[in-house]
Amino acid sequence: MTMTPIDVLANLRAYLVAQATLTTVLTNAAYVYGPPGFPDSVVSSMPCKLITFLQSGGAPRGFQTPLTNARVEFRCYGTTHIEASLVERTLASVLDKRNNSAIGSNCMFSASKATEASFLTDPSTDWPFVFVVYDLIFNQTVV
């Protein structure tokens, strides 16, 4: 059996943008990485409600196995820390204890919160955000 490497960030983004509960709260879409990687149109509207995320641990990119573990850091932005907290709580509602959620044609995952939410301010932009980390497990096989 030939295994294709699981693209954690692409699969996670596909899952997040498909969640109406989350997308109705966000001003902009979910983005991989963060400032200064935002498109100019997003930067001009910041601060606003949006999510950025980055894989910070787990299997190396391209590691071929039916299961891929990943630790992902999320920044949930808002115009205030209260608004950023709303974005984080909505993210939690679509990720916490989520098991066997299909992403695409065959990739599924489970998620568990690895840290509690921290209220921070981006040092380069002064934008308020909530920082939280999740451990994700991706599976190439539908269970």
pLDDT tens-digit series, residues 42-90 = 666 677 888 888 888 765 554 555 677 889 999 999 999 999 999 999 9
pTM: 0.82
Peptide bond into 60 cis (omega under 30): no
Q: Which is nearest to 107 in space by CA: 62, 78, 46, 66?
A: 66
Q: According to the model, what pLDDT value does residue 50 have?
A: 87
d(CA 129, CA 30): 14
Q: Which domains does the chain have, with CATH numbers?
A: 8-139 (3.30.70.1700)
Split at pLDDT 50, 70, 90, the class of 124 is confident
d(CA 37, CA 31): 9
Minimum mean pLDDT range among 11-15, 60-64, 124-128: 60-64
Tokens describing residue 137: 């497990």
Percentage of the chain beyond pLDDT 90 is 27
